[in-house]
Structure 1
Amino acid sequence: MRARTRVRVRQWDPPSTKRVLDLTLGSALLALAAPLLAGGALALAARRPPGGVLTRSPRVGLNGHVFVLRSLHTRRLRLDLLSRLPYVVRGDLSLVGPEPLAPDGEDGPRIEGGTCTPDSGASPAARHWRQELKPGLIGLAQVRSRSGMPWDEPALLDQHYAEHHGVGLDLAILASAAHASLRGAVRGLARHGKARLSDTDHRLSGYSTAEEVDSVSTD
């Protein structure tokens, strides 16, 4: 008798709603930002910065997976943040999540809210729950830590996100980050416009400084 061979069919797990959001929105943002990222990379290459065009730093991802995070070596127009979008599409990062930390024993800075700060380390318990969540491009700490309130410390905000994370909270964080970026860009344009204005811009045509001196002398 011929022995029957059993063929195991591997079950396909459908992607989660969070992963679908990362793929769709992450891919769209990457396509929109690609020309800006290319221009920024060319500008950096022309300047030849000492550290190179890209910064490289190991980070711990989901389930303790270590990957090298590469970012453009600039913070202009948040290009450093946008340059990490390929990691969202690839699956190493999520659009929203806790800050990606450096592995244990790694020296050097870690990126916190878009700025490099010394690695203060995290407790083993904190690192444990962090490894159960995929780190994010942005997080609750990035959009709330600017308030300066003691309960808005990055570590506490990341832990709060880990306890209450969901698609609704992700969308709220993304909307808050987009609003803050748009407001910052508008304020920057307004300051730039005010700096270029002078008193002569509001004078009528034909007005001269001599007329102003004559009027003062007659008074």
Structure 2
Amino acid sequence: MSRPEHDRGSSRRAVYETTKRALDVLCASSALVLLAPLMLVVGSSVAVFLGRPVLFRQMRPGRHGEPFALVKFRSMRDVDAAEGLLSDADRLTRFGRLLRSTSLDELPSLVAVVRGDLSLVGPRPLLMQYLPLYSEHQHRRHEVRPGLTGLAQVSGRNLLDWDERFDLDVRYVDERGLLLDLRILAQTIGCVLRRTGVSAAGEATCAPFRGSARFELEGPAVVPTTGVSTTGVSTTTVSTTTVEIEVAA
């Protein structure tokens, strides 16, 4: 690519990133105001059916793998309240399944969009402990801000295997643009209304990621180390008493 073509490409990308960020803030701020009554109802319902705390907080990797606090409405029973050791699927109540299938549990995450940790559209933020397991190709999903919804979520969501999801995430990184973002947002509405791909069989969401053959072929990705332990969990902001653990969203 010649220098002028490279400059034009960089300029278009900068315009897209600026426009996307402005739309993220505008849409998320408006949604927080308009949906405040609904969030109050959902929060009160969580307190009644699941008890406190109402919100679930967990560190997730953001852009370039930097950790941020993801906040959702709680959808699982407290691990201390469960009798014996139960799987996430067993801890997920009927009310919790309703929250997840309608994506109402995601509403508090709009605050992270306004703050700049999340975007409306982008690869979903997974778990910190997955960072050392990614291949170089898979780690490219962190070149952009994670999103509330993404290409993988409208292409099968948790019914896809991990390699398929990561391939779609990287495809989004390479092909991202406003038209693609608008298409994903429109398709997300349909997926939520149909409640499709919410969970794999026998799982609360999907099976944990344990690495793939690509890790052996491509080698491990280089991940940030500032503020992150060798297990990929923030050493300063993650509590050891996290109540709810999700393998994916």
TM-score, length basis structure 1: 0.62
* Matched-pair contact (CA < 8 Å) for 2:152–2:168: yes
Q: Hey, what's the Cα distance between the residues in 2 that align with 1:32 and 1:79?
A: 14
2:121 is equivalent to residue 96 of structure 1: yes
After superposition, residues 106-121 of structure 1 pair within 5 angstroms as: 121=133
Aligned to 2:37: 35
Q: Hey, what's the Cα distance between the residues in 1 that align with 2:110 and 2:166?
A: 23
AA aligned to 2:180 is L
Runs of 5+ consecutive residues of structure 2 not aligned to the other structure: 1-13, 76-97, 196-249
Aligned to 1:110: none
- Match for residue 167 of structure 1 among 178, 198, 221: 178
Instruction: Give the number of the structure whose alpha-carbon radius of gyration is greater.
Output: 1
Structure 1 or 2: more helix by fraction: 1
SS at match of 1:176: helix
Instruction: Give CA deviations for 1:158-188 in whole Å, capped at 9, x if unaligned.
Output: 111111011110000001112333455xxxx
Q: Hey, what's the Cα distance between the residues in 2 that align with 1:70 and 1:182?
A: 23
Q: Hey, what's the Cα distance between the residues in 2 that align with 1:147 and 1:162?
A: 20
* Matched-pair contact (CA < 8 Å) for 2:65–2:142: yes
Q: Hey, what's the Cα distance between the residues in 1 that align with 2:153 and 2:159?
A: 12
Aligned to 1:82: 107
TM-score, length basis structure 2: 0.55
Q: Hey, what's the Cα distance between the residues in 2 that align with 1:162 and 1:60?
A: 16
After superposition, residues 119-134 of structure 1 pair within 5 angstroms as: 121-127=133-139, 129-134=140-145
Overall identity of the aligned pairs, in %: 41
SS at match of 2:181: helix
Runs of 5+ consecutive residues of structure 1 not aligned to the other structure: 1-12, 107-119, 185-219
Q: Hey, what's the Cα distance between the residues in 2 that align with 1:63 and 1:37?
A: 31
Compare relative contact order (CA 8 Å, sep 6+) and give the higher one, 1 or 2. Answer: 2
Q: Hey, what's the Cα distance between the residues in 2 that align with 1:84 and 1:40?
A: 14
Aligned to 2:6: none
Structure 1 or 2: more strand by fraction: 1
Compute the RMSD of aligned alpha carbons: 2.9
**Could you list the runs of 4 or more consecutive aligned residues of structure 1 that deviate by over 3 angstroms after TM superposition?**
146-152
